[in-house]
Structure 1
Amino acid sequence: MAIQVSVCGPRNCTEEDRRNAREIGRLLATRGAVVICGGYTGVMAEVAAGAATAGGTVVGILSRADREGANPDLTITIPTGVGEARNNIIVNSGDAVVVIGGSWGTLSELALAKRRGGVPVVQLGGWQILDADRQPLLGIEHAATPAEALERTGLWS
Structure 2
Amino acid sequence: MRVSVVGGSRIGPEEEATAEAVGKLLAQRGHSVVCGGLGGVMEAACRGAKEASGTTVGVLPGEDPAAANEYVDVAVATGLSHARNALVVMNGDAVVAVDGGGGTLSEIGFSFVYRRPIAGLGTHDVEGVEACETPEEAVNYVESTVESASE
Unaligned runs of 5+ in 2: none
**Residue 125 of structure 1 is aligned with which of 107, 122, 145?**
122
Q: What's 1:134 paired with? A: none
CA RMSD of aligned residues (A): 1.3
Match among 104, 107, 111 for residue 106 of structure 1: 104
Is residue 13 of structure 1 aligned with residue 14 of structure 2? Answer: no
Moved over 4 A (4+): none
* Structure 1 position 43 matched with structure 2 position 41: yes
Equivalents in 1 of 2:16, 2:112: separation in Å?
24
Q: Which runs of 5+ in 1 are unaligned?
A: 130-136
* 1:36 alignment partner, SS class: strand
**2:147 is the alignment partner of 1:149:** no
1:59 paired residue number: 57
Amino acid at match of 2:131: H
Q: Following superposition of structure 1 onto structure 2, how do residues 16-95 of structure 1 map, counting pairs within 5 Å?
A: 16-95=14-93
Question: So what's the TM-score if we normalise by structure 2?
Answer: 0.92
- Cα deviation 1:22-58 (Å, max 9, x = unaligned): 0000001111111000000000000000000110000
Counterparts of 2:50 and 2:147, CA distance in 1: 21
Cα separation, 2, equivalents of 1:88 and 1:62: 11
The question of whether the paired residues in 1 share the 8 Å contact of 2:9 and 2:100 is answered with no
Note the C-alpha offset of 1:70.
1.4
Larger Rg: 1
Q: Give the distance between the partners of 2:7 and 2:38, measured in 1 at CA.
A: 10
Q: With structure 1 as the length reference, what TM-score do the two structures score? A: 0.88
Residue 31 of structure 1 aligns to which amino acid in structure 2?
R
